[in-house]
A and B are shown apart, each in its own frame.
Chain A
Amino acid sequence: MQRTWRSRVLIAYSVAILAFLYLPLMILALYSFNESRLNAVWTGFTFDWYLSLFKNRRVLEALTNSLIIAVASTIVSTILGTMAALALNRYQYKFKPAINSLLYLPILIPEIVMGLSLLVLFSQAQFPLGKPTLILAHITFCLSFVIITVSARLEGMRQDLEQAAEDLYATPWQTFRYVTLPLAMPGIVAGALIAFTLSIDDFIISFFVAGPNSTTLPLYIYAMVKRGISPEINALSTLMIFATIILVIVAQILQPQHTRKH
């Protein structure tokens, strides 16, 4: 049968491409457990590189910075983004195309341009670079992603549910509290997770707007990479990969499901 022959080749090809996507990451993870500091030769299994990470003051500092920045920018971008998505979903705006362009352009414009434009802004405003500038920048690029995620959820929601609530004596606030919000919640949580992942992972924009005492994990990894290969980078990268995997899976699982009870 020609059909099965075709589909077998297709599946083999796809598996090969998935391997291409994952093998390098697996090798990276594998070598974070290799005893040898210099070579790719496997000399034995060790947790030393992880242990040395946790003793490294600068790594812990970078981790703290990353978490502070990610939490702050997630909270602000989720609130602003959810508000905007609710408004966009419900009301007609005169300048809707212009508004949409403004909301989606930050995603489409090359990150390097956004990073340097913020650098120029902060330097022209004589605003010292550091954690605050990182947080402002991260909120800016997370915002559009939150709006898109929450909007997708709201669009999938039927309008008549809110009308039914109003018909059943719920005031606008009660309608929002008991119907709109619980139904939109998976979208909001997914949006927040995406914002958090983007922020924790961001290198390019942070690269431009970070100051001397605000090194984040990706920036720290970059500095280490520039100095040469070391198993500690492998260990740190592996940890970041795992964190990302968990966040992505949780966000995905939240997306299509129906809500929990209010």
Chain B
Amino acid sequence: MIGCEIGKMKEMVRLEGIVKKFNNNLIIPELDLTINDGEFLTLLGPSGCGKTTLLRMIAGLETPTQGSIFLDDEDVTNLPPYKRNVNMVFQHYALFPHMTVEENIHFGLKMKKVPLEEQKEKVAQVLYLTQLEEFRHRRPQQMSGGQQQRVAIARALVNNPKVLLLDEPLGALDYQLRKSLQLELKNLQRGLGLTFIYVTHDQEEALTMSDRIVVMNKGYIEQDGHPDEIYHRPKTKFVARFIGESNFFEINEDQYAVRPEKLNLCVEQEDNEPYAGHPEPKFFGTIVDVVFYGTIDKVFIRLDNSNQTVVAYQYFDDVKRWSPDERVGIWWYDNDGVIVEK
């Protein structure tokens, strides 16, 4: 299968000026996006943000109202799904109930009229890759959710698509299984060097698996970047709020977002005494609640002169454990306060 060493930055999918309306309902106002070859790109956002619509447009299951879609430099905007060399892993897998696992996997090759010998070879390969050999004669409904999910992936991969589209493929599974399949999927993608476009509303999943995350909201791209960048340098208030927890502070008309783990607390000093070893507190407040979370305490503080409550994580190697009604000063290192658009 395709190697990924050389064409790392070669572009695979390009969306130009995409607009999508459903019956005068504007889903995607206007959007440009480029996805590189061999990239694991995640479209992340709340439900209804247009991420699935975008994925389905790449698959050809929806047509954009305006704009063009290029796949490997070919304009595929008006091509039906069966003429596009991309494959999709559907949200509920969409496995054909009247076919066995093997027949499901054969389906795409059969439709493309690949020679029978080659079909068999490829199916055997992919069955091995996804560890489904022993289930090949089962019907989908006789398998567990995790196994069905693997069949869905095998059925798509066997066609050697240029891009694999995944629509919340782990959404229907329980937490433990999801964790282990996340790793499996990521390894599979790395091993094959294939371009994955992955849709999810689960921020943790997105952070763990992706090379690049595109955060969407109401059809707009809020931020597009490396997971690390998305988490630590959120560009907008929406991103800061949607991914992880954030506190917002208003300083000189600027909105600062600070992660709770970056928020530090200190005892309020009286009579303008200096604060030893760290910057001056920027805000003061009263602790309203301290909640034990296992590895951390979550400390909730009501800021003075406002009814805003912020939260700080306190690790137990910190000097002091806080309790309600204590007065505290709040400070952070300049680097940890990120100015976000409102």
Contacts and interface: CB of A to CB of B under 8 A. Distances in A.
Please tell me whether chains A and B touch each other in their complex, using a CB distance cut-off of 8 A.
yes
Interface of A: 158, 160-161, 163-172, 174, 178-179, 182-183, 258-262
Contacts, number: 74
B82 A166 contact: yes
Interface of B: 59-61, 80-83, 86-88, 90-92, 94-99, 107-108, 111-112, 139, 141, 155-156, 159
A161 B155 CA distance: 13
Contacts of B60: 166-167
B98 A260 contact: yes
A166 B108 contact: no
Given A258-B98, A259-B97, A167 B107 contact: no
Nearest to B152: A164
A185 B95 CA distance: 18
A168 B98 contact: no
Closest 7 CB pairs of A and B: A168-B108, A164-B94, A160-B94, A169-B111, A259-B98, A166-B81, A170-B111
Contact of A170 (B61, B92, B95, B107): B107
Contacts of A258: 97-98, 139, 141
Contacts of B94: 158, 160-161, 163-164
A178 B82 CA distance: 14
Main secondary structure of the interface of A (DSSP, over half): helix
A172 B87 CA distance: 17
A167 B98 contact: no
Contacts of B92: 158, 160
Contacts of A164: 88, 90, 94-96
Contacts of B86: 167
B141 A174 contact: no
Given A167-B88, A169-B82, 12 more contacts: A160-B90, A161-B96, A163-B81, A164-B96, A166-B81, A168-B82, A168-B87, A171-B82, A172-B80, A174-B111, A261-B99, A262-B98
Nearest to A179: B96
A171 B156 CA distance: 17
A97 B81 CA distance: 32
Contacts of B112: 169
Nearest to B165: A167
Contacts of B139: 258
A257 to B, nearest CB: 11
A155 to B, nearest CB: 15
Q: Which of A169, A170, A178 has the most CB of B within 10 A?
A: A169
A168 B159 CA distance: 8
Given A160-B92, A183-B98, A166 B107 contact: no
Contacts of A160: 90-92, 94
B111 A167 contact: no
A102 B87 CA distance: 41
B97 A183 contact: yes
28 contacts: A160-B90, A161-B97, A163-B61, A163-B81, A164-B90, A164-B95, A165-B96, A166-B61, A166-B82, A167-B59, A167-B60, A167-B86, A167-B88, A168-B159, A169-B108, A169-B111, A169-B112, A170-B107, A171-B82, A171-B111, A172-B80, A174-B82, A178-B107, A178-B111, A182-B98, A183-B97, A259-B97, A260-B98
